[in-house]
Amino acid sequence: MIDPVLASRLQFALTTIVHIVFPVMSMGLAPFLIYFTWREIRGGDPVYEQLRRFWTKIFAISFVVGTVTGIVLEFEFGTNFAAFSTAAGELFGGPLAVEGMMAFMLEATFLGIFVFGRERVSDRLYMISSVAVGLGTWLSAVWILIANSWMQTPRGYEVATENGQPVIHLVDPIAAYLNPRFGFMFVHMQNAAVESVALFMAGVAAYYVYRHHVWGYPVEHVAFWQKTLKIALVALLLTAPLQVLHGDLYARHVYETQPQKFAAMEAVWDTEAYVPEYIFAIPTDLSQITDPRAKELFGIGIPGGASWLASGGNPNAEIRGLNSFESEAPPVAIVFWSFRAMVGLGFWFILLAFWGGYRWYTGELFEDGLLHKSLMASSLLGILAVELGWVVTEVGRQPWVIQGVLKTSEGVSPGLTGTEAMITLSGFATVYTAILAVYTYVIVRLIRSGPPDEADLDSVPDRRPESDAAPAGVSDDD
Partner 1 sequence: MTSVEALAAGPLFGLPLPELWFALVFAMLGTFLFLDGFDFGAGAIFATLEDGEARETVLSAIGPFWDGNEVWLVVFGGALFAAFPAVYANLFSRHYLLMFGILGALILRGLAPEMYEQRHDERWQRWWGRSFIAGSVLAPFLLGAFAGNWLVGSPRSFTLAGIVVGVTVTALTVVSGAAFLRLKAADALPASVRRIGLGAVAAYLLSVVVTLGVLAVRLPAGVDALVTAPVIALVVASVALAGGYALALRRGANLAALAAAAGLTYGLVSVVALLMYPSMDPAAGLTVGEAIVSTLPLNLMSIGAALLLPLVATYFVVLYSAFSGPISAGEAY
Q: Report the site for partner 1 in 457-476 (rule: CB under 8 A).
A: 461, 472-476
| Nearer Cβ to partner 1 (110/200) | 110
Evaluated on CA atoms 62, 67, 72, 77, the torsion sign reads: positive
| Nearer Cβ to partner 1 (223/423) | 423
Tell whether residue 287 is a contact of partner 1 (CB under 8 A): no
Considering only residues 201-260, where is the footprint of partner 1 by CB under 8 A?
A: none
User: Contacts with partner 1: how many residues (CB under 8 A)?
Assistant: 80
Q: Is 286 exposed, middle or buried (0-12, 13-18, 19+ CB in 10 A)?
A: exposed
| Nearer Cβ to partner 1 (67/403) | 67
Residue 404: CB atoms within 10 A of its CB come to 12
**Nearest Cα to Cα of residue 57 among 461, 449, 386:** 449
User: Least distance from C-beta 143 to partner 1, angstroms?
Assistant: 10
| Nearer Cβ to partner 1 (148/378) | 148
Tell whether residue 478 is a contact of partner 1 (CB under 8 A): yes
User: Least distance from C-beta 478 to partner 1, angstroms?
Assistant: 5
Phi, psi (deg, nearest 5) at residue 165: -110, 145
User: Least distance from C-beta 11 to partner 1, angstroms?
Assistant: 10
Considering only residues 316-335, where is the footprint of partner 1 by CB under 8 A?
A: none
Characterize the bridge pairing of strands 297-302 and 277-283.
antiparallel
| Nearer Cβ to partner 1 (303/427) | 427
Considering only residues 354-383, where is the footprint of partner 1 by CB under 8 A?
A: none
Considering only residues 25-64, where is the footprint of partner 1 by CB under 8 A?
A: 60-61, 63-64
| Nearer Cβ to partner 1 (92/339) | 92
| Nearer Cβ to partner 1 (103/392) | 103
Considering only residues 191-210, where is the footprint of partner 1 by CB under 8 A?
A: none
User: Least distance from C-beta 92 to partner 1, angstroms?
Assistant: 8
CA distances 32 to 59, 124, 424, Å, are: 11, 18, 37
Residues 127, 33: Cα–Cα separation, whole Å: 10
Considering only residues 163-182, where is the footprint of partner 1 by CB under 8 A?
A: 169-174
Considering only residues 382-441, where is the footprint of partner 1 by CB under 8 A?
A: 413-416, 420, 423-424, 427, 431, 435, 438
User: Least distance from C-beta 476 to partner 1, angstroms?
Assistant: 7
Residues 6 or more apart in contact with residue 370 via CB below 8 angstroms? none
Tell whether residue 456 is a contact of partner 1 (CB under 8 A): no
Residues 221, 208: Cα–Cα separation, whole Å: 9
Contact pattern from residue 63 through residue 102 relative to partner 1, giving x for each residue in contact according to CB under 8 A and a dash for the rest = xxx-xxxxxx-xx-xxxxxxx-xx-xxxxxxx-xxxxxxx
Q: Is 145 exposed, middle or buried (0-12, 13-18, 19+ CB in 10 A)?
A: buried
User: Least distance from C-beta 140 to partner 1, angstroms?
Assistant: 11
Considering only residues 126-145, where is the footprint of partner 1 by CB under 8 A?
A: 132
Question: CA triplet 113, 221, 214: central angle to 5 degrees?
Answer: 140
Strand ranges (DSSP E) for 141-223?
A: 157-162, 165-170
Residue 415: CB atoms within 10 A of its CB come to 8
User: Least distance from C-beta 455 to partner 1, angstroms?
Assistant: 17
| Nearer Cβ to partner 1 (97/223) | 97
Considering only residues 105-124, where is the footprint of partner 1 by CB under 8 A?
A: 105-106, 108-113, 115-117, 120-121
Residues 48, 225: Cα–Cα separation, whole Å: 11
Residues 6 or more apart in contact with residue 346 via CB below 8 angstroms? 240, 243, 244, 247, 385
Q: Is 165 helix (H, G, I), strand (E, B) or coil?
A: strand
| Nearer Cβ to partner 1 (297/425) | 425
CA distances 467 to 34, 115, 339, 463, 464, Å, are: 22, 21, 54, 11, 8
| Nearer Cβ to partner 1 (115/242) | 115
